[in-house]
């Protein structure tokens, strides 16, 4: 699989964490941030119980930053909030990546292999921002803050930050909390999500990472949800891939075995 496609579609396994937990008070949630997130969730049609929902989207990915990389046909499956599977065919070569409850695996010509990095622990349903919002707001460990107004591609947007506060103590807990931070930019008029931004961590050193962004456009009402049919991934300031969706389906009856990674 070309490197840009791996960044666009894949997630990898987090380092082992210390099992010592702390007794914590509820994480801080700015009322303004929660109000904007809740309104965006309602407008985008994500009031359903995401944990009980499965979805399948199909589309095509191109790579503006790598003209030599062949376009890829992609199928993305998700069951609930913690199981996702990316299947791609590019240049006649089929690959797959699975994320299941914070761990990941890749399918190559040599079979399934555990993914190596720190990005799968907090992998979200990025390709469906309506469901991403619903999933985050349903979590008891999520903190939320309001960062202000910004201009995103000529539109005024609310800048919000959400994170998942780890219950683990010490440096490991701090790293997990920091790694979970997600920036969301919500259109001030439509309340559609225009962009998300986060840190994509090195596959070899979980302490290092570079900025990743996903820009959303071409929203269409499909199956009761507003779905961005065009999604552009920017890594470290460079556009690396563009995903054009062709279909969306929900409640299709996905089996857990599709996310086993073996």
pLDDT at residue 110, rounded to an integer: 82
Contact criterion met (CB below 8 Å) for 114 and 105: yes
pLDDT at residue 19, rounded to an integer: 39
- Confidence band for 21, pLDDT divided at 50, 70 and 90: very low
Kindly report the average pLDDT of the chain as a whole number: 85
Residue 57 above 90 pLDDT? yes
Q: Can you tell me the distance from the alpha carbon of 156 to that of 149, in angstroms, rounded to the nearest whole number?
A: 7
Q: What is the pLDDT of residues 84-129, one digit of tens each?
A: 999 999 888 888 999 998 888 998 878 888 876 678 888 899 999 9
Residue 10 above 50 pLDDT? no
pLDDT at residue 121, rounded to an integer: 80
The CATH fold assigned to 3-16+25-252 is outer membrane lipoprotein receptor (LolB), chain A (2.50.20)
Residue 227 above 50 pLDDT? yes
- The number of CA neighbours under 13 Å toward the Cβ of 202 is 6
Q: What is the pLDDT of residues 93-104, one digit of tens each?
A: 888 999 998 888
User: Which pTM was predicted?
Assistant: 0.86
pLDDT at residue 13, rounded to an integer: 31
- Confidence band for 158, pLDDT divided at 50, 70 and 90: very high
pLDDT at residue 257, rounded to an integer: 92
Residues 6+ apart with CB under 8 A from 32: 146
Q: What is the pLDDT of residues 179-193, one digit of tens each?
A: 889 999 999 999 999
Q: Can you tell me the distance from the alpha carbon of 31 to that of 40, in angstroms, rounded to the nearest whole number?
A: 14
């Amino acid at each position: 699989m070309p490197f840009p496609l791996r960044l666009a579609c894949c997630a990898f396994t987090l380092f082992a964490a210390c099992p010592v937990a702390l007794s914590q008070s509820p994480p801080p949630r700015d009322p303004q941030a929660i109000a904007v997130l809740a309104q965006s969730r309602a407008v985008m049609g994500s009031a359903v119980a995401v944990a009980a929902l499965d979805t399948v989207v199909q589309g095509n990915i191109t790579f503006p930053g790598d003209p030599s990389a062949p376009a890829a046909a992609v199928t993305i499956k998700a069951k609930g909030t913690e199981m996702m599977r990316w299947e791609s065919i590019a240049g006649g070569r089929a690959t797959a990546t699975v994320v299941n409850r914070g761990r990941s695996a890749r399918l190559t010509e040599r079979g399934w292999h555990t993914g190596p990095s720190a990005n799968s622990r907090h992998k979200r349903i990025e390709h469906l921002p309506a469901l991403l919002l619903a999933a985050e707001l349903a979590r008891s460990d999520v903190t939320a803050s309001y960062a202000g107004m910004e201009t995103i591609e000529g539109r005024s947007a609310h800048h919000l930050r959400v994170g998942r506060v780890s219950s683990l103590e010490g440096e490991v807990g701090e790293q997990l909390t920091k790694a979970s931070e997600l920036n969301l930019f919500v259109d001030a008029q439509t309340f559609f999500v225009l962009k998300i931004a986060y840190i994509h961590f090195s596959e070899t050193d979980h302490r290092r990472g570079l900025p990743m962004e996903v820009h959303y456009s071409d929203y269409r009402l499909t199956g009761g949800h507003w779905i961005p049919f065009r999604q552009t991934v920017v890594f470290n300031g460079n556009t690396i891939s563009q995903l054009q969706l062709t279909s969306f389906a929900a409640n299709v009856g996905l089996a857990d075995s599709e996310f086993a990674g073996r």
